[in-house]
Amino acid sequence: MSLSRQLSGFVADLKFEDLPSAVVDRAKGVTLQALSSALVAHDMPATHQALAIMREEEAGGAGIATALCSGEKFTKAGAAFVNAEMIFAGGKWDTFRMLTHPGIAIMPAALAAAEATGCSGKTFLIAIAAAYEVMERMASEFIPTVMSRGFHAGPVFGIFGAAIAAAKIHGLDADQINGAIAQCVNLASGNLEGIRSGGRSLREGGAVRNALLAVALAKHGIPGGETTLEGEAGFYHSYTGNNLGQLRYSFTGLNRTDLTKITEGLGQDWIFLETLYRIYSTAGYNIAHVDVTAKLCEEHDIAYADIDRIEAVVNWLETLYPSPAFPVRVIEHPPRVGSTQYFSAYGAVTSGYPLLRGGQPAPGETDPPEVLELMNRITLIPMAHRTLFGPRVTVFTKDGRGFTREGTGREFIWNFEDEADRIRPIASGLAITPERFEGLIDACRTLEQAETAWEPLILLTIPA
């Protein structure tokens, strides 16, 4: 069978009983993470812009789907666009292999479909698990190569996750899901040049609108083709330059993969469980530097006054964002506010980073002067085969000693209760009360018991 047939059959046949408990737990966690990000962004400029665009675009239309936090009604595509832009603006994303953020696309599509169908919490969780698994399998080995061709892997792969979530909730059969995947190939888009030249590129917000169009086309029986992913002129040829698995860049250093690996162990080995939480509102490659450095200093009782310098060995692709072919971020000398060294210094000085602060703050009184000084004594050392998001941090003290901690790349992979504990401190900065936020956490925790998924998930984000 073609790749799309194998993926569509898996999605169509997937039942709640097929989901391992860890997968159900992760589906609840990514739901909470996305909704929390939207709550953080409820009053941000990007949210107001998205709402204004849809009010104008859909003036006079009948709305059947709800925008998070505001409660305004739009079409499914309109609400999904607003919710994607809101989740993106909040900065509390989930992350898969640095350069894709599945929840920004998947969650808005799933919420719109859930509201339109009135589906149960179990159906919602099945759709989330299926969407993440398909999207991440499709993206896994190909992300750096796609980025090196000028595409942005987030929306390019995100459209498939969003379409799978909506298709599963709407009850499409295997043939229709195959058609939706094929139409996503026609509608996938995303480019890097805008962010390289001072713009704010349309990302997952556009992907989720196109995903819902792909699902609608498939639902009404429009065929999409059989080999749209692996064919000679198909998705992988177009976005990676070939359909043979040849890679220009990879996180592991290997320059070849096999397209058949995309579906290998499907339904048994859940790559979805690699999804991590970007708890701090900064680029994913910075998050581990905060916690790994903080834990190292705590373990050895190292204070700011004791530190001579810090060195961090990192995956080389983390120092050339978004791609070695088109870097807009390199190792910065001298470091600046928002650099990796800045976040590492925050971890050493304060044992964390403020959860309600964005990734690009302006220097000011809220930055401890010790952080701004120490970041200039931190060195990043790129390494080709280093674990992604797993820096090896060494703190050299003024008395001549050195202390090292190895990051694993799994520091931000948690179960639901850990996720709830880590995200809970944002409650003080949200439009809803801490009690209402606690209700949202509990709604995610017990989602499989909900008769209708959308009501607690959406309505609890709206101030009472």
Q: Where are the domains of the chain?
A: 3-278+439-459, 284-406
What would the CATH number be for the domain defined by 3-278+439-459?
1.10.4100.10
What does DSSP say about strands 378-383 and 307-315: parallel, antiparallel, or unpaired? parallel
Does the domain formed by 284-406 have CATH 3.40.50.720? no
Beta-carbon count within 10 A of 210 CB: 22
% pLDDT > 90, the chain: 89
The whole-angstrom separation of Cα 379 and Cα 257 is 33
Number of H helices, E strands in the chain: 18, 8
Residues 6+ away with beta carbon under 8 Å from 130: 10, 11, 14, 164, 165, 168
Would you state the pLDDT for residue 331? Answer: 86
The whole-angstrom separation of Cα 156 and Cα 154 is 6
- pLDDT category at 455 given cuts 50, 70, 90 is very high
Would you state the pLDDT for residue 357? Answer: 85
Q: At residue 196, does pLDDT exceed 90?
A: no
pLDDT for 63-113, tens place per residue? 899 999 999 999 999 999 999 999 999 999 999 999 999 999 999 999 999
> Which DSSP state fits 362?
P
Q: State the virtual CA torsion across 29, 30, 36, 39 in degrees, nearest 10.
A: -140
pTM over 0.85: yes
User: With helix as H, strand as E and coil as C, how does 250-293 read?
Assistant: CCCCCCECCHHHHHCCCCCCCHHHHCEECCCCCCHHHHHHHHHH
